[in-house]
Amino acid sequence: MTSHGPFPEDDLTPVSQQAAHWWVVLHDESCTAEDREAFAAWVKRAPDRVEAFLRQSILSKALKTSDIRWPDVSAAELVRQARSTSAEVIPAFPLARVAQPRRPIFRWSTRMLMSASLATVFLVVLAVWVLIVPSRYETDLGEQRSVLLDDGSIIMLNTSSQIEVKYTKERRFVRLVRGEALFEVARDVARPFDVAVGGALVRAVGTQFNIDLRADRATVTVVEGRVKVMPEDANAQGRAAGTNDPSAEPLTEMIVAAQRVIVTTSGVGEPEQIEDLAPVTAWTQRQLVFENRPLAEVAAEFNRYNHRRIIIESNALQTQQVTGVFQANDPASFLAFISGIPGVRIRANDAGDHIVYLNSAALIETGTQEDTN
């Protein structure tokens, strides 16, 4: 639950103020699934709460526009108009006679009934939005952020990444839409923690693992504990077999700490042992660690974090092996490093990108035929 907290059931706060409170809660970054469930419980108790929340939504959007024209009417007149449009209350006993008070009888007009019907439709749509639509978290180019989930699990998002999170009582579900993320999962044997990525489903109970999603593959690396990797439609396959038991779902691979698997359109590869996990999580410290990596791959990695790209123009240089540790947001140090390679030249294009190429003398010396512009 967020620090805002719900209104108590016996609170006499006007419904408009309650609606404003819930508007703030639902639009707060720390809004949890428990908050959304509490809001759904609050809003469904009366149609006037739906109307109040809808009015708050309209008001919030109106306040953000520069084209708004405020009515040239006094506050007293606005109050009078509001009172004149409220529901008519008819006393249930004569004014001249003293008796036990009874509940007032409300006369519902056609307009009010239509409003109630519309409010019901809105309530259904709102319930779908609150309880079904997943929460979305993302980062821009060069940005990193940490997301704390309701159960205490932590997801660290790398640059240009996006995830969708949906928690229910039976399951914790995350979809890695793009980019890279490090998952530190809180243990809960009753609710599996599933991450959908590249056609595969990574299932963990309490563990730490990294997923790096690229255009042609996803790399799943276990840092601590172990995870199961199965087809994303494993649940559907289990139901087709006549069971909903998670243990009956088709298991593709079990990978443990210091292992990784590559997921492609062809399926899940065999587990590979990793000697050093430091390079896998180095990005959380904004570090890039390379060991005998082609220069073209190293440049592509820097381009994930910086607006000014590094373009290796020479085919001979693209396969040059590089080993080193660099700061992801400091491409200048990397350019200074590769400028020490004999024959390497660096220039800027009109977009401000760094073009890395070999001069003509170096090409002749190596016997390479290339167009250096």
| pLDDT over 90 percentage in the chain | 50
Q: Do 41 and 119 sit in the same domain of this protein?
A: yes
pLDDT band at 368 (very low <50, low <70, confident <90, very high): low
Q: Do 33 and 115 sit in the same domain of this protein?
A: yes
Domain membership of residue 373 (yes or no) is no
pLDDT exceeds cutoff 70 at 83: no
**287-294 and 310-312 strand pairing:** unpaired
Give the pair of three-digit tokens for residue 319: 């396969």
Which run of H or E residues covers position 157? strand 154-157
Whole-angstrom distance, CA of residue 180 vs CA of residue 12 = 48
Last residue of a domain, one of 97, 131, 165: 131
Domains contained in the chain, number: 3
Q: Do 196 and 329 sit in the same domain of this protein?
A: no
pLDDT exceeds cutoff 60 at 193: yes
Q: Do 115 and 143 sit in the same domain of this protein?
A: no
pLDDT in tens, 210-252: 999 999 999 999 999 999 999 987 654 443 334 445 445 455 6
Determine the structural domain holding residue 297 and report its residue range: 286-366
- 3-state SS string for 105-142: EECCCHHHHHHHHHHHHHHHHHHHHHHCCCEEEECCCC
Domain membership of residue 77 (yes or no) is yes
Whole-angstrom distance, CA of residue 157 vs CA of residue 176 = 10
Q: Do 55 and 148 sit in the same domain of this protein?
A: no
Q: Do 114 and 141 sit in the same domain of this protein?
A: no
Q: What is the CB neighbour count within 10 angstroms for residue 99?
A: 8
Q: Which residue has the higher pLDDT, 74 or 60?
A: 60
pLDDT of residue 78: 56
Give the pair of three-digit tokens for residue 181: 């993320």
Domain membership of residue 3 (yes or no) is no
Q: Which residue has the higher pLDDT, 103 or 225?
A: 225
DSSP string, 284-298: GGTEEEEEEEEHHHH
Model confidence, pTM? 0.63
Last residue of a domain, one of 74, 106, 131: 131
pLDDT of residue 121: 52
Domain membership of residue 7 (yes or no) is no
pLDDT of residue 72: 56
pLDDT of residue 125: 52
Q: Do 92 and 204 sit in the same domain of this protein?
A: no
Q: Do 105 and 34 sit in the same domain of this protein?
A: yes
pLDDT of residue 48: 77
Q: Do 226 and 307 sit in the same domain of this protein?
A: no
Q: What's the chain's average pLDDT?
A: 79
Task: Look at 73-82, 87-96, 168-177 and tell me which has the smallest mean pLDDT.
Answer: 87-96
Domain membership of residue 2 (yes or no) is no
What CATH number is attached to the domain comprising 328?
Answer: 3.55.50.30
Q: Do 158 and 265 sit in the same domain of this protein?
A: yes
